[in-house]
Every structure is written in structure tokens, then in C-alpha cells.
Amino acid sequence: MLKVENIRKTYGKEVVLDGISFELPKPEIVALVGPNGSGKSTLMNIITNLTPPDNGTVTVLGKPNTSPSIFKDISFMQDNTVLYEYLTGYDHLQFIADVQSLPEADILETSEIIGNKPYLNKKVKNYSLGMKQHLLLAMAILNKPKLLILDEPLNGLDPTSAIRVRNLLLQIQERGTAILLSSHNLGEIDQVTNKILFLKDGMLIQEKLTDIQELNYNISVDNTSLALSLLKEKEIIVSVDNDRLGIKVQNSHTLQRTLEALYSGGVLITDIEKKRSGSEERYRQIYEQKVNLP
Ligand SMILES: Nc1ncnc2c1ncn2[C@@H]1O[C@H](COP(=O)(O)OP(=O)(O)OP(=O)(O)O)[C@@H](O)[C@H]1O
């Protein structure tokens, strides 16, 4: 659905992207992650043919990304600077519907899904950050694209809206759309995908975090040896680190069984700590380097 080959981009002497290659072979969600200024937006702009690369090619649905015929199959949600302050949300959607010959019914259906119908006739200058995000997302999915590129889709959304958007992305993907999204919210990323492209020094580190759905807990107890024998009896796999029990659980049922076994065996639980999610842990390994101060 998307093939990016050997993309290089420089701004003056700055090498922003240095030979980026990756593929989205099927409808799936892939996250693009990296610190501020690492080149995420630049790469998305190149994929969607808004910025020319110095080198390399992008193929969308088997055709070069410069081909006019892919126009209806690809959408790009950019940041809110692309919105016109003095137009309404409806005006923005109607413009896209007109250009792509989409029926008006699609505007209403999309707004229903996104939940921005109540303020569709307000001018964008009166929108909150979250309202602008909703409009941008509605604009991006209006044409039911096969490839959806989203730059920070969850930025500025309250928790309820973020959950709604997350579920929406999963539904869109299930219906056959490949999604490439950038986000700084690693917790949110973990909820929608375990495939992550980390951008570092202009290059990609591609990861499929297999244990992403797995939660790790550290449990502190008053009697470690008793706890270990109780859990062994129940065949619950557990490790010990600094007198704390470390357990990996695939679902809340394992955690409940663990706590029940400890409680009914008379072990006092003094602390439960949920450890970091997979992508957050990996992010720290990749980007956080020790700084030696003089
Ligand atoms: N038009 C431009 N002219 C000059 N430099 C640019 C241009 N666009 C981007 N850059 C530079 O390219 C680098 C990557 O910027 P980019 O916006 O792609 O990063 P980003 O990962 O999307 O950052 P953020 O997470 O802050 O949105 C930055 O150093 C930026 O200054």
C-alpha cells in the first residue's frame, strides 16, 4: 500500500532524512515516532508529495506518489495551520467534497462519526484546539482513503475524544485502510499498534514490539518466599528483583489470580507498580543518552 525507498532530504547543510526506506504492505497501523525536529512532518510531506525529496522514491498503491490517479486514495491530516479561520467547518468539508465529487451525504455521515456536527457551521476562528483536530480528521477521512497519513491526530484531544479517535482508527484500518500516524503520546500508540518507526539522526529504527500488549507489574509483599510458593502452586510465572515480585500479565485475569492467591495465602501486599509500556521503554533506550557534565 505504501513503499518508501531511500528518501534523503536536506535543508541547507542539515541532513533531515538520510536514506529512509520502509513498507506498509497491508492495511495496518504504523506509528512514526521521534523527538521534536527529527523529521516526522518532513517525511509525511514527502510521502504525500507536498515536499520533493533530494533523492528516493515513494510508491502508493503501486503508483508513484506524483501520479494524479492516487489523489482519491490518499489523505493527509496535517496540523491546524492548513485551516481557514474565516470559513466554517462545513465549508472546509464541502470544498473537499466538491474537488473529489463526493455526495453531500458523505459530509454529514463523516461529521456524525467524528462528532463535530454540533459546531460544523461555526467559523474556525472560534474553534478550540480539539475542535480543530476533529475537523482535520473529518477532512482526512471524508474520501474514505486507502492510505491515511496522520500528523499528530491526538494532539489537543480530551481523553473521551482521544478514545473515540483511537477506536475510529482501528475501525478504519479493519475496513482496509493503511494508516501511518505520528504521535508523541506513546501510551496512545500502544493502544493502536505495535509497529513503530523510530526516527533518529535521519534514519529509521523499525520495531515490532511483540510484548506491547503485555503489562508488567512489580508487586511488593511482606513475605517473598511464601508468596513465591503460593504462586508456584497456581502455576503463575513470576520473577524476583530486589525482594519484589515481577509478573507479566497478558490480561487482567492473571493479575486478579495473582492477587487472590497472595491474599488468600495470607501475604500482605504493600505496593503494586505498573511498569512502563513497551514503546515508552524502547523510546528511552533509543533517545535518552547520558550527558556527561564537565
Ligand atoms: N521548510 C523548511 N526549511 C528549512 N528547514 C526545515 C523546513 N522544514 C523543516 N525543516 C527542518 O527540518 C527538521 C525536521 O523538522 P520536522 O518539522 O520534519 O520535524 P518533526 O519531527 O515533525 O518535529 P515536531 O515533532 O516538532 O513536529 C527541523 O530541524 C526543521 O527545522
- Position 287 scores a pLDDT of 85
Q: Mean pLDDT lowest for which of 21-25, 77-81, 141-145?
A: 77-81
- For residue 121, the Cα-to-chain-centroid distance in whole angstroms is 30
| Closest CA relative to residue 136, chosen from 65, 177, 74, 75 | 75
- In total, the chain counts a number of residues equal to 294
Separation of CA 2 and ligand 1 centre (Å) = 22
Q: How far is 60 from 146, CA to CA, in rounded Å?
A: 10
**Is 70 exceeded by the pLDDT of residue 64?**
yes
Q: Where does the pLDDT of residue 294 fall: very low under 50, low under 70, confident under 90, or very high at 90 and above?
A: low
- Position 97 scores a pLDDT of 96
Give residue 6's region: left, alpha or beta (phi > 0; psi -120 to 50). left
Which cell goes with 60? 502508493
Would the pTM count as exceeding 0.90? no
Burial of 252 (0-12, 13-18, 19+ CB in 10 A): exposed
Mean pLDDT of 172-201: 90
Whether ipTM > 0.95 holds is yes
Separation of CA 39 and ligand 1 centre (Å) = 5
Share of the chain above pLDDT 70, in %: 92
**Which single residue is written with the C-alpha cell 481557514?**
84
* pLDDT greater at residue 106 or residue 240: 106
Residue owning the nearest CA to atom 29 of ligand 1: 37
Mean pLDDT of 195-199: 93
> What CATH number has the domain spanning 2-208?
3.40.50.300
**pLDDT for 16-53, tens place per residue?**
999 999 999 999 999 999 999 999 999 999 999 999 99
Q: Where does the pLDDT of residue 286 fall: very low under 50, low under 70, confident under 90, or very high at 90 and above?
A: confident
The domain spans of the chain are 2-208, 215-276
Mean pLDDT of 54-64: 96
* pLDDT greater at residue 52 or residue 246: 52
Specify the CATH architecture of the domain 215-276: 2-Layer Sandwich (3.30)
**Is 70 exceeded by the pLDDT of residue 169?**
yes
Separation of CA 44 and ligand 1 centre (Å) = 11
Matching fold, domains 2-208 and 215-276: no
Instruction: DSSP for 224-275, please give it.
Output: HHHHHHHHHHTT---EEETTEEEEEESSHHHHHHHHHHHHHTTPPEEEEEEP
* pLDDT greater at residue 81 or residue 291: 81
Residue owning the nearest CA to atom 9 of ligand 1: 42
Nearest ligand 1 atom to the CA of 199 is 21
**Is 50 exceeded by the pLDDT of residue 263?**
yes
Which cell goes with 7? 528518501
Going by the DSSP 8-state scheme, the letter that residue 99 receives in this structure is H
Ligand 1 pocket test target in 33, 42, 189 with most atoms within 8 Å of CB: 42
- Position 212 scores a pLDDT of 45
* pLDDT greater at residue 225 or residue 246: 225
Residue owning the nearest CA to atom 5 of ligand 1: 11
Mean pLDDT of 231-245: 80
Nearest ligand 1 atom to the CA of 39 is 18
